[in-house]
Amino acid sequence: MNDQDQVSVKALFSEDITDIGKKMSELEGMEAVTAIKDSFLEKAAGVKWSDLFAEVCQGAQDLLNIKIKDILIGAWQKHKEIKKYADREKYSPGETVLCPLARHKVKSIHHPSVEILLNDHTLGRMVFDLVLLFDLEGFILKIRDARIVEILTGSCRGSGTFRYDEVVLLKKESGKIPMPGSISLGEGIPII
């Protein structure tokens, strides 16, 4: 597996990712963030809030390290058109099937969080909302023994919103996401 196989959601927001720190500063006046800040300042004498908040901003960026292939596989392995390939009576374990996918969309909703700890005690948790929509065309799944063993990629466009409460930190209307020509899945991902 090469680095191209690890294309993450960050690739969708790549042009705007550096602006997240500026947008995150808008959160500091929010009641939930102020409560975390007050608790931190009360319990961590001598440590600057600005240093901690810089780490929270980096943590928010790291939440976008979700691999796009994992999102897509999660949707495909449960899809009724793909599920038929789990029938080992119709598709013998030694047989490899190429399953071309029609142009389709995959919507994925996530609620990642950054937990703020001090001496192993939680001061607070910031829960973000990440909504993604992928528009896919020309993808082919290689299936063997009721498992997706390889993805032959096609065109992938995506849109998404990353927010905390009502503050939109990142938004991408539509952008092309560079995908590798194929992604090997080793022993494969079971069709469920």
Residue 16 clears pLDDT 80, i.e. is over it: no
Alpha-carbon gap, residue 158 to 107, rounded angstroms? 10
pLDDT band at 5 (very low <50, low <70, confident <90, very high): low
Instruction: Look at the chain and report how many structural domains it folds into.
Output: 1
C-alpha dihedral sign at 51, 169, 73, 192: positive
pLDDT number for residue 152:
96
Q: Evaluate whether 82 touches 191 at the Cβ level (below 8 Å).
A: yes
Q: Evaluate whether 7 touches 70 at the Cβ level (below 8 Å).
A: no
Q: How far is CA 62 from CA 36, 49, 119, in A?
A: 20, 20, 22
Helix (H, G, I), strand (E, B) or coil at 37: helix
Residue 120 makes CB contacts below 8 A (sequence gap 6+) with none
Residue 75 makes CB contacts below 8 A (sequence gap 6+) with 106, 108
Provide mean pLDDT across the span 149-158: 95
Q: Of the given ranges (2-11, 66-75, 106-115), which has the lowest mean pLDDT?
A: 2-11
pLDDT number for residue 1:
41
b/e per residue 108-129 (b: at least 16 CB within 10 A): bebebebebeeeeeebbebebe
Residue 2 clears pLDDT 60, i.e. is over it: no
Residue 58 clears pLDDT 70, i.e. is over it: yes
pLDDT band at 188 (very low <50, low <70, confident <90, very high): very high
Residue 32 clears pLDDT 70, i.e. is over it: yes
Residue 110 makes CB contacts below 8 A (sequence gap 6+) with 66, 129, 130, 131, 132
Domain around 38: 3-190
Residue 15 clears pLDDT 90, i.e. is over it: no
Look at the chain and count its residues.
Answer: 192
Q: Of the given ranges (12-21, 53-62, 117-126, 127-136), which has the lowest mean pLDDT?
A: 12-21
